Chain A
Amino acid sequence: MRLKITCKEASLLIIKSEEHHLGYSEKIRMNFHLFICKMCRLFKRQNKILDKALAVNNTQEQLTVSEKENLKELIK
């Protein structure tokens, strides 16, 4: 088993781990990498923040009055 992985590989494992998709050996590799890599530790935190923030989508979009009138015409 290759223990050392790159940050590119580690970042993917970090994303996978949030969705509980890591096998045993992947988990070991990721944790080993996190132990030695500050940037990936940061990415892990950023990923968590993104996950939380992305779950919110307060769209401000609205239909205009004329758009609604058009819709009404259409389904008359």
Chain B
Amino acid sequence: MNTIKSNLNPELWVDLYADSLFRYACKRINQRETAKELVQETFLAALKALPNFKGAISEKNWLYTILKNKIIDYYRKKTPVYIEDFTTNEKEYSYSFDDSGHWKQEKSKPGWIANENDVLLNKEFMQVLAKCRQKLNEIQDAVFSMKYIDETNSEEICKELNITTSNYWVIMHRAKLLLRACIQKNWLNEKL
């Protein structure tokens, strides 16, 4: 028992893990303060659970597991509020489509396009995208984080967030439309 306990060093946690846990949280939650709070809660929860730690996984993995659960909990708490909004509010589509469901044409400039192969090296594009991402609401952000950062499949995401498949597609559809429009507006694509 004592040997297992000695593997845990709470006094070193902040120095050893705070940075990487915080980065992990920031990648998945767009708000710095929330990310920080979740890391804080993770340490506190771990401290509380110290007597139950069985030593089956490393201290580091244990802390990550707690943080992951905290993040999912946070996503879940945000979900119901937005789902309500989504299923009732058609207004958001009118940004992209006219009443007959056709694209609203941007007459002033052609639609943006980037080279798919080197888009990650395109600093300006990535900066604009990061800014545009800030416009997503929390549930869109949650779905995006799970899909793109954790590579969770849609069935799993629906299960975790307790949403229906059609909710999922509405969330994805609107988020993509929003990003597309935001990039159109803010990225100067000089190659065209």
- Residues of A bordering B, CB below 8 Å: 6-9, 11-12, 15-16, 19, 21, 39-40, 42-43, 45-57, 59, 61-63, 67-68, 71-72, 74-76
Distance in angstroms from A4 CB to nearest chain B CB is 10
Task: Give how many B residues have a beta carbon under 8 Å from the other chain's beta carbons.
Answer: 51
Chain B contact residues: over half helix, strand or loop, or mixed?
helix
Q: B82 on the interface (CB 8 Å rule)?
A: no
* Chain B residues within 8 Å of A45, by CB: 113, 116
* Chain B residues within 8 Å of A47, by CB: 176, 180
Do residues A68 and B126 form an inter-chain contact, with CB atoms below 8 A?
A: no
- Residues of B bordering A, CB below 8 Å: 10-11, 13-15, 18-19, 22-23, 26-27, 32, 35-36, 39-40, 43-44, 47, 93, 96-97, 100-103, 105, 111-114, 116, 119-120, 125-126, 129, 133, 144, 148-149, 153-154, 169, 172-173, 176-177, 179-180, 183
Residue of B nearest to A41 (CB): B111
**Distance of A59 Cα from B23 Cα, bound (Å):** 7
Closest 4 CB pairs of A and B: A6-B101, A8-B101, A59-B26, A61-B26
